[in-house]
Chain A
Amino acid sequence: MAGNPILFSDPQGLDAGSAQFPNLPQNSDFGNPNEHNSGGTYNADGICSPTTSESQTPTEEVVIKPTPFVVPTNNATIDIPRDDAYRAFAKAWDRFNKDKANSSFSTMILQELSRFAYENANNLQITVSNITTRLYLSRAATNIKGEIVNNNEIRDASYGILADLLTMGAGNAPKAADKVLDIVENLADVAEGVGKGEEKTIVIGEGMYRVKPAAKSVGAKWYQAWSKNFPSGRLMTEVELNAAKARNARWLKSKIKKGYKIYDIGPKGTNITSPFYELERNIIEETGYPTTPLLGY
């Protein structure tokens, strides 16, 4: 690959006590956010054993709820608490957008994602071994419990993060970003339980007002555009619309690639007026992928 795409000059720097945890409740499950930055070791269950200096106050135990699992597409083990990580990614993106000038939080997460990308692009084992990063992700997740509506939002947040990856000057970023997206989507799948042998299903059709109840009725996913991508008080420009369609297309192709069962509730009537459903139909036509008509909607 060309050059060194993403620099992590000091990954352990994340562990050097400089990390800040804005908005972390002081009475969170993780205790004072600054207390463990200096180190400590975590056992396989994610229990933090304090270092010597910390052991003077041995009453505190930090649990970061790790749930190691295997990402199906590349067999890489990601040793992070999956739900927490996802929420953290989404939160990072949200914070990044709201306050770019004070984005130390999101920059750190972006760096982690960039490293995932780098490791993927080079077929390296993907790990999140850095203690502070793990703690950081978990703490971030603690802060946002209840804020994430569903995994579609998380997925869209990942798109946003990937978009930023592409602007970071990483030589191999586009390819790496694809890999990251796979990982992120797999994480979302697993978080939803579809990776546990349950049938993977999605619903497509014209009009989200029809698709959403249909998907809920069969316990399937549906494409949900993230509202933050909508311009305020106006419709999307052609460029924005194309980007939105590209996201939709990417989502559907990804599901096809993973062998999802696709329910199709079809057009609302005799005319297809939605460019998004038209796009989905075209992808289905082009790939010849089978869909199952879902009646009643």
Chain B
Amino acid sequence: MTTINSDILKKYFNFLLSIFNFKLKEIKSYDYALYTKFLSSSVGIYFIYEFRDSIPQIQFTKLVSDELEQRPGLYTLKECYKEENFKLQSFYLDEIIQFKKGKEYNSCFKDVKTIEDAIKISAELIEQYAKDFVIGDKKSYDKMNVWFRNYVMLSSTTAKC
């Protein structure tokens, strides 16, 4: 089954390889999750699908080196953005869609019944909303960073201490 999931991913994400010159850097397939990294010369895409959550997470990062690193979460970002010059160059697909005033991300997956459905929808959402992030368009990343900074700093989600 884990191989099948890998094959499904390759099928629906082939456009990254054939059109946008990405390379499949890494694919880890388990019963419970599928983790895949795609790299182009300027962008890294990290596809994370932990099946129990039903919804894939897709992270787009403008690369500064050959390594695609995991973006830190909200708590860390809040600290980072306290520094005025901090510039984030890594965003999740749900954030990009929200920035572009698209559909609510979770709702796009509400009717999925299979892993394949979810992967297919993910690929469609990338094509629809995130092509500029796929090609590494600097303006898009910079605009997103400005919007995201405000969004993060205004977020009331904090740990209960």
Give me the interface of A with B, judged by CB distance under 8 Å.
Answer: 205-210, 225, 227-228, 230, 232-236, 241, 244, 264-276, 284-285, 288-297
A276 partner residues in chain B, CB cutoff 8 A: 52-53
- State whether A208 touches B50 (Cβ < 8 A): yes
Q: Provided the pairs A265-B75, A266-B157, A270-B155 are in contact, do residues A230 and B52 lie with their beta carbons within 8 angstroms?
A: yes
**Shortest beta-carbon distance from B159 to chain A in Å:** 4
Which chain B residue shows the least CB distance to A226?
B32
Q: How far is the CA of A275 from the CA of B74 in the complex (A)?
A: 17
A284 partner residues in chain B, CB cutoff 8 A: 160
- State whether A271 touches B50 (Cβ < 8 A): no
Which chain B residue shows the least CB distance to A296?
B76
Q: Is there a chain A Cβ closer than 8 Å to B105's Cβ? A: yes
Contact with A along B51-93 (1 / 0, CB 8 A): 1111101000000000000111111110100000000000110
Give me the interface of B with A, judged by CB distance under 8 Å.
Answer: 1, 4, 30-33, 35, 48, 50-55, 57, 70-77, 79, 91-92, 94-95, 98, 105-106, 112-115, 118, 148, 151-152, 155, 157-161
Q: How far is the CA of A14 from the CA of B59 in the complex (A)?
A: 56
- State whether A244 touches B57 (Cβ < 8 A): no
Other A-B contacts than A241-B52, A271-B95, A290-B161, 19 sampled, CB-CB below 8 A, are A209-B33, A209-B48, A210-B70, A225-B52, A230-B31, A233-B114, A234-B113, A234-B115, A235-B115, A266-B76, A266-B159, A269-B74, A270-B98, A271-B105, A273-B94, A276-B52, A276-B53, A297-B70, A297-B73
**Shortest beta-carbon distance from A254 to chain B in Å:** 18
A297 partner residues in chain B, CB cutoff 8 A: 70, 72-73, 76
Which chain B residue shows the least CB distance to A206?
B73
Most buried by A among B32, B91, B115, B158: B32
- Select one of A225, A268, A273 contacting B32, CB under 8 A: A225
Q: How far is the CA of A293 from the CA of B161 in the complex (A)?
A: 8
- State whether B72 touches A296 (Cβ < 8 A): yes
- State whether B53 touches A205 (Cβ < 8 A): no
Q: How far is the CA of A290 from the CA of B70 in the complex (A)?
A: 27
Q: Please, could you name 29 A-B residue pairs with CB atoms under 8 Å apart, sorted by A?
A: A205-B73, A207-B53, A209-B70, A228-B31, A230-B32, A232-B31, A233-B4, A233-B114, A233-B115, A235-B114, A235-B118, A236-B54, A241-B52, A266-B158, A269-B92, A270-B95, A271-B95, A273-B57, A273-B94, A274-B55, A284-B160, A289-B160, A291-B160, A292-B161, A293-B161, A294-B75, A296-B72, A297-B70, A297-B72
- State whether B112 touches A227 (Cβ < 8 A): no
A271 partner residues in chain B, CB cutoff 8 A: 94-95, 98, 105-106
A236 partner residues in chain B, CB cutoff 8 A: 51-52, 54
A205 partner residues in chain B, CB cutoff 8 A: 73
7 cross-chain pairs, A with B, having the tightest CB-CB distances, nearest first: A227-B31, A266-B75, A293-B159, A264-B159, A274-B53, A295-B76, A227-B32
